[in-house]
Amino acid sequence: MAPVAVSEFRFVIRLSGREPFDDVLEEVAANVFRHLGCASPVVTDLVAQLNAVVGPTLGGSEELDVQFHAYSGCCEVVVVVDDQEVWRMTRRLP
């Protein structure tokens, strides 16, 4: 797939319950990063960072949002648990 020219992009995925969701989150995150033009090694690194935060974080929670926001040559990923931000990462886009 070819990268998409982005002026602004926002996507949120909500995960709830305690069912395994690792594969879904990895696939969604990898596709978002690829569409934003990130190379494969960068995608792998970003997904690994996200998994390192989300896995342990959801343990005692019922709802978790992962927010992707691309703007002005940057991509920001925010993890929100029970309406509280627990992690934020910003990366320059190619």
Of all helices (H) and strands (E), which one includes residue 75? strand 74-81
Residue 17 is predicted with a pLDDT of 66
Distances (CA, A) of 64 to 2, 9, 42, 75: 30, 20, 24, 19
Is residue 94 scored above 70 in pLDDT? yes
In the chain the domains, ranked by start, together with CATH numbers, are 8-92 (3.30.565.10)
Smallest CA-to-CA distance from 35 within 67, 9, 68, 1 is with 1
> What confidence tens digit (pLDDT) does each residue in 47-65 have?
999 888 887 766 666 678 9
Q: Can you tell me whether residue 94 is helix, strand or coil?
A: coil
pTM of this prediction? 0.81
